[in-house]
Structure 1
Amino acid sequence: MTENSSYTLISGTSTANTSDYHYYYYYVDEFEENKQNPTITKSLHIMSMVFYSVAFLLGVMGNGLVIWITLFKMKMTVNTVWFLNLAIADFIFTFFLPLNIVYTALDFHWPFGTSLCKLNSFVAFLNMFASVFILMVISIDRCISVVFPVWSHNHRNTRLASIIVVVLWFCALVMSIPYAVFRDTRTNLKNKNIINCLYNFSLSNTSTDIIETRFRIMIIVRFVLGFLIPFVVIVACYIIITLKLLKNQLINSSRPFKIFIAVIISFFLCWLPYHIFSFLELASISAAPHLKQVVNYGSPLTSSLAFLNSCVNPILYVFIGKDFKKKLRTSILAVFENAFSEEHTQTTLQGKSHTSSTDCHAV
């Protein structure tokens, strides 16, 4: 981008109607354009706060309940290791959501300091990467259990699952570090009384080309490693699983199978719009004003949808099953133990009959 462009890119400032996930590039002409639509802008702010509040309440309570039950009320199995860590990632993220609520309520004034600004962004993307990595491993685990039942029966254990989870968390942590490094607080250029928590890709007065390159790299890497590759792996695994179960006429033999599918579908439905708008945002740097306006209005909505994913999983654990009314009448512990039960498809393929090792106890 050159200085002769129809709008000017200034690193380190933000539009008034962007969400925390949005990359805070400030376009001079956009600022004036947004002021002409204060009603729409305010409505987006209110809707975002509602989404954040719902995600916080349901996410903290729901994921906290999953963590408590899997740690203290259930026998630790491979499935509970997966879902315990998925719940931990979502719980940490939703626990920080009040910061976003306050930030939005204060018209994007950040009163919490630079350290919390960096930490808040770091936690948000740590949750995203950890969640998608765990979902990918769940799919691989289920695929191996179906295709190689004997090997899985002999080698699949909680120790191996725990080691894999540690590696996944480390990878997610490494992938999230740039979101803390480039996060910063700056005084708003239009209002000196407002401090914005934003992405500053300049670091030390870097040229505009390098700033844009860093911006592009982060979006592309996030999409490829945090969405595309896991999506391809997950789809491939479940195609293999489905074909194997259909071949053996066992498509309804594994109850947890439905839980896994529902959790994965909810993740991609919540995150796909966010990634789409990330690329639209990238394209809007040198696009017509109407595309930038679409990004401005759509980014808060897609970000809010991504937030809600962190409170969906506990709901799925409870309400996915053959008999909805029966599940409502069971105890909370019985519901979760049923959802996480180790009913392996490979044992059925071998013609063996196993009873569940996690019998339910009424709360």
Structure 2
Amino acid sequence: MSGRVWALVVKELLAVLRDRKSRAVLIVPPLMQLALFSFAATLDVKAVDLAVLDQDGGAAAVELAQRFTAAPYFASVRHLAGMAQVAPELENERAMAVLVLAQGFSRDVAAGRPATAQVLLDGRRSNTSQIVQGYIQAVVDGYNADLAARRGQVGPPARLVVRAWFNPNLDYLWFTVPNLIGMLTMVVGLIITALSVARERELGTFDQILVTPLSPREILAGKTIPAMFLGMTEGLLIVAAAILLFDIPFRGSFAVLLLAQFLFLLSVVGVGLFISSLCMTQQQAILGTFSFMIPAMLLSGFATPIETMPAFLQLVSQVNPLRYFLVAVRGVLLKGMSPGMVLEVVWPLVPIAVVTLSLASWFFRRRLG
């Protein structure tokens, strides 16, 4: 690295680190977002409110209703007096589901005939309803198994045994936090880079850089290296918080994670420089950054699987650097992926970085001309 580029790198780092607001933006918001999204952005369904309408009143119906009260999935189980109370429970969202045990339920159970219980779900929250339906089915299956055992009956001929790899307890934090490592690292890398040139133009100091002996490539290098350094540091801070504060396992190689993070940040910094080369003010740079970040997060596979998206969106997601890094960071932390497997995942980041950095350099030189 030439002395001129090094001087620009030092100048960029000092401009960020000496500013109290910039230091706060680099440290406090990412950690706050990590804590907030880890607990708020979850698809886990816990503490479900259930209502039970027992029109039978027999021993079998009472026993089944009591099993729901004892189940860990349900925070409260309210008993309704009649059908007129069912609709208000769902309409006013006081209950996520209503279990209806019709007359004759206990009589059918005692006679060995199939007994039917009806479940009414709030379809406005479709995903949650499906999960709650699974909870209710699990309680009913346990009741049926115990009932068959008391009567000396043979259980079902086939039994499903479930074992979850890489996340034995299906803890949703083990899925959310590794994804947040990638997203927050992207946010920091993009904002630092996108604001660098725009800040110089807005403050009027960019003209001072232009009269120096620095070439456009040296100026770009001086803007890229500080962003890479700060992004890597911020990413490692988020990884440390994930491991120490949220007890996320780290089963892979630290060097492999650093390599994947470096390639990811290189492609992200290219996007940030491209945005910065087009913007004249910091406000424009921030708007451009968020215009890229939101689609990148939606097309990364974090919220919904990429395989379920339309074909043209799956094609667009192939140029999204976040898509590849999320697979790598989850694999390194939870799976212990080997270096070869990680390289098979993250190699598209290299051409993405080449294209974005080249475009940023071309636009940068064009704007200077």
Per the normalisation by structure 2, the TM-score is 0.31
Which has the higher Rg, Structure 1 or Structure 2? 2
Q: Which has the higher contact order (CA 8 A, sep 6+)?
A: 1
